[in-house]
Amino acid sequence: MNIIADLHTHTNISEHAFSTLEENCIAGNKIGLDAVGITNHGPALEDGASHWHFKSLGKNNPGKMHGVYLISGIELNIMQDGSIDLEEEYLSNLDLVIASFHQEVFYPKDKNHVNDMLNEAITNKNINVFGHLGNEIFKFDYEDIISKCNKYDKVVEVNNHSFVQRPGSDVNCLEIIKLCKKYEVPIMVNSDAHISSSIGHFEDAIAVIEKAGYPEELIVNSSMDRLQDYFKHIKGIDILNR
Ligand SMILES: [Zn+2]
Ligand SMILES: [Zn+2]
């Protein structure tokens, strides 16, 4: 399985991540990737980036940096009521919007609460991808949500960082990936790197994807053609020519 882009990485704009945007691109190029996405946390997290970061990142994306195509993005927070933590005027300038649950701003009451808020978020046109859905703390009705992803044009992320950082993710991710296969929902494989040396490492994620027998042609970052088509589809941009 060949993954050519790492589209969920953090930079030291947040204090809990340690590399610069340029270091992430250099590391991506060095490990043989064609594209790197910069997706810092939304402003609701104490350590998230401000709207200034996302405004500037979206408007000043040079297209290519240190040999890789640069994807400007964000990892938004899904809030307690299913809303998100950045306004559309900033999101519309970005290439990629990943939305995730984080304990610091979302306190799951039970499985129904998480499921209800995902049903709210899934209708939000600004969200492209759901990040690290396999988190044990945020369990939901997998079949209910995955079966609706294509209707609302949502991609499911398989997050390599989860297998180290979020216990239970291996079992949950396998179940989620099998449902993605059943409903032909595209997935995206990312490192969620918080330091440049983690960029391009997807080994644990790939092992689970292979175990599920998920088809490579549905992975949006498994070839440059697929990635190019994906961004044309969601944002009307040609990432190779801008
Ligand atoms: Zn996250
Ligand atoms: Zn992240």
DSSP string covering the chain, please?
A: ----EE--B--TTSTT----HHHHHHHHHHTT-SEEEEEEEPTTSTTPPPHHHHHHHHHS--SEETTEEEEEEEEEEB-TTS-BSS-HHHHTTSSEEEEE--TTT----SHHHHHHHHHHHTT-TT--EE--TT-GGG---HHHHHTTTTTTT-EEEEETTHHHHSTTHHHHHHHHHHHHHHHT--EEEE--BSSGGGTT--HHHHHHHHHHT--GGGBTTSSHHHHHHHHHHHHS--TT--
Tell how far the Cα of 9 is from the centroid of ligand 1, in angstroms: 10
Q: Return the pLDDT at 166.
A: 81
Provide the β-strand partners of residue 187.
156, 219
Closest CA to 231 of 215, 219, 220, 217: 220
Half-sphere exposure (Cβ direction) of 174: Cα atoms closer than 13 Å? 10
Low-confidence ranges of the chain (pLDDT < 50): none
Tell how far the Cα of 105 is from the centroid of ligand 2, in angstroms: 14
Ligand nearest, relative to CA of residue 166: 1
Half-sphere exposure (Cβ direction) of 78: Cα atoms closer than 13 Å? 28
Tell how far the Cα of 75 is from the centroid of ligand 1, in angstroms: 7
Tell how far the Cα of 6 is from the centroid of ligand 1, in angstroms: 14
Tell how far the Cα of 6 is from the centroid of ligand 2, in angstroms: 12
Ligand nearest, relative to CA of residue 39: 2
Domain range summary for the chain, segments of one domain joined by +: 5-235
Q: Return the pLDDT at 218.
A: 98
Tell how far the Cα of 113 is from the centroid of ligand 2, in angstroms: 22
At the fourth CATH level, the homologous superfamily of domain 5-235 is: Metal-dependent hydrolases (3.20.20.140)
Ligand nearest, relative to CA of residue 198: 2
Ligand nearest, relative to CA of residue 16: 2
